[in-house]
Amino acid sequence: MKKKSEALALQRNKETNRVAFLFLIPVAVLLILYIFYPIIDAFRISTLKWNGISPNTTFIGLDNWIKLIHDPHFWSAFKNNIIVMILSICVQIPLGLAMATFVEYAGKKSKLFKIVWFIPMLMSSVAIGFLFQYALATNGGIISSVSSLFGGGNIDLLGNPDTALFTVIGVIAWQFTPFYMVYCVAAYTNISTDLYEAAQLDGVNKRTYFAHIALPLLAPSLKSAAILSMVGSLKYFDLIYVMTGGGPGTSTELMSTYMYKMSFAKFNMGYGSTIASGMFLVITIISLLTMRLLNGKGEEK
């Protein structure tokens, strides 16, 4: 009897491994070709002095890495990335959750809201950059006009190094919050409807239901959303490149825009690849650590 169940378990184990292997093959092939190979190549190039196009390269060992560690531009870009990350997580996810919750509670009438709210996500960065450039203009822009109406005078948002980064972060939030809304709407559908009905029968009001039943059930999804937002912000590129190009001066430079300019405009592929590899390491470490931290907490509960 005991032997039989052991054999069965073994067989099941075998099946598990075989199926797992089978199901993971396509991902493995694609990741090796399109991600492992490029990143390993980037690490290789980071040991070279190379302008990116010449057939001649010089091996310089860790010189680029030493330079990176002492490069104030890289660290100020890193700091900007951290600001983008913190604000993105703190703004986009709560807003997305609020919108999803509204859609969830308001029922069918809210369908229109969901569609319209999603529109920013569908606009290309070129259009967003252009329209906000005008909307945020110091003279005649929307923000300035509102501020002048209340006697505040014109405000230079994008041209001022103290405000430019925060302004672009606002625009980024405008574009990406809808994604977290859709994400949270999907997470809501995972919660069994029986729970809501049971809670209603018990006379639990909506607020209590949200705080004590829905939110804990949404927590794992929200954690994943935080990781997504974190990784996304740490390698963010698009709107910064379109709207400020890293300026004024270098006040909105991010790691990715710095890396891009170094590799493709300043003909320093060796150092550009070092920045990229550095980014890769930093982001991986931060995100894996955060995941461990978040999951650890979850298990304690």
Partner 1 sequence: MNPEYRLSRIKSIISWVIAWFLAIFALFVALLPFFFMVLNSFKDKFEMLTKGVFEFPDKFYVENYTEVLTGNFWHYFLNSVIVLGVSLVLLLAISAFASYPLSRFNFRLGKPIYAIIVACMSIPVHVTLIPIFKMTQNMGIYDSIWALIGPNVALGIPISVFILTSFMKEIPREIEESAEIDGCGKIGMFFRIIMPMAKPGLSTLAIYNGVNMWNEFIFAYSLTQSSANRTLPLAIWEYQGQYTMNTPMIMAVLVLTALPMIILFIFASDRLVKGMTAGAVKG
Partner 2 sequence: MKKRLLRFAAIALSVMMIVSLAGCGSKGKSSSGGGDADKTITFWNIGAEGVNKVLLSYPVELFNEQSDSGYEVEFVATQNDSYKEKLVVAMSSGECPDMYTSWSGGPMNEYIESGFAQPLDDLYEKYGLTDRLMEAGIAQSTYDGKIYAVPTYNISVAGTYYNKEMFEKYGLEVPKTISELEAVCAKLKENGITPFALANSTKWTGSMYFQLLAARYGGLEPFQAAVDGSGSFEDESFVYAGEKIQEWVEKGWFPEGVNSLSEDDGQGRQLLYQDKAAMDLIGSWYTGTLKSDSEEFYEKVGWFPFPAVDGKEDNLPIALGTVGDQFISFNCEGDKLDAAFELATYFSSEEAKAKDIENGYLPPTPDVATLVDDPISQQVLSTIADATAVQLWYDQYLPPAVADAHLNTCQELFGLTTTPEKANEVLQAAMQEYLDEK
- The least CB distance from residue 164 to partner 1, in Å, is 19
Q: Is the dihedral of CA 266, 231, 97, 157 positive or negative?
A: negative
Find the part of the chain contacting partner 2 (CB under 8 A) among 117-125, 185-193, 257-265, 282-290: 257-265
The enclosing H or E element of 58 equals: strand 58-59
Which parts of 179-218 interact with partner 1 (CB under 8 A)?
179, 182-183, 185-191, 193, 196-197, 205-207
Q: Is 75 in the site for partner 1 (CB under 8 A)?
A: no
Question: What is the residue type of 252?
Answer: T
How long, in residues, is the chain? 301
Q: Is 56 in the site for partner 1 (CB under 8 A)?
A: no
Contacting partner 1 (CB under 8 A), which of 9, 11, 17, 58?
A: 17
Question: 71-80 as b/e, with b when 16 or more CB fall inside 10 Å?
Answer: beebeebbeb
Q: Which of 43, 42, 49, 47 shows the shortest CA–CA distance to 268?
A: 49
With CB under 8 A as the rule, give the number of residues binding partner 2. 45
Q: Is 33 in the site for partner 1 (CB under 8 A)?
A: yes
- The least CB distance from residue 295 to partner 1, in Å, is 11
3-class DSSP state of 45: helix
Which CB atom, from 162 or from 190, has the smaller least distance to partner 1?
190
CA distance 234 to 225: 14
DSSP state of 52: S
The interface partner of residue 157, options being partner 1, partner 2, none and the CB cut-off 5 to 8 Å by kind, is partner 2
- The least CB distance from residue 281 to partner 1, in Å, is 8
Q: Is 269 in the site for partner 2 (CB under 8 A)?
A: yes
Q: Is 17 in the site for partner 2 (CB under 8 A)?
A: yes
Query: Residues 67, 271: contact at Cβ < 8 Å?
Result: yes
The interface partner of residue 159, options being partner 2, partner 1, none and the CB cut-off 5 to 8 Å by kind, is partner 2
How would DSSP label each residue in 266-287? SS-HHHHHHHHHHHHHHHHHHH
In the numeric block, which tokens belong to residue 95? 């807003």
Q: Is the dihedral of CA 88, 91, 94, 100 positive or negative?
A: negative
Which CB atom, from 1 or from 265, has the smaller least distance to partner 1?
265
The interface partner of residue 118, options being partner 1, partner 2, none and the CB cut-off 5 to 8 Å by kind, is partner 1
Query: Residues 233, 88: contact at Cβ < 8 Å?
Result: yes
The interface partner of residue 6, options being partner 1, partner 2, none and the CB cut-off 5 to 8 Å by kind, is none
Binding site for partner 2 (CB under 8 A): 13-14, 17, 21, 25, 28-29, 32-33, 37, 51-56, 130, 133-134, 136-139, 154, 156-161, 164, 244-245, 247-250, 261, 263-269
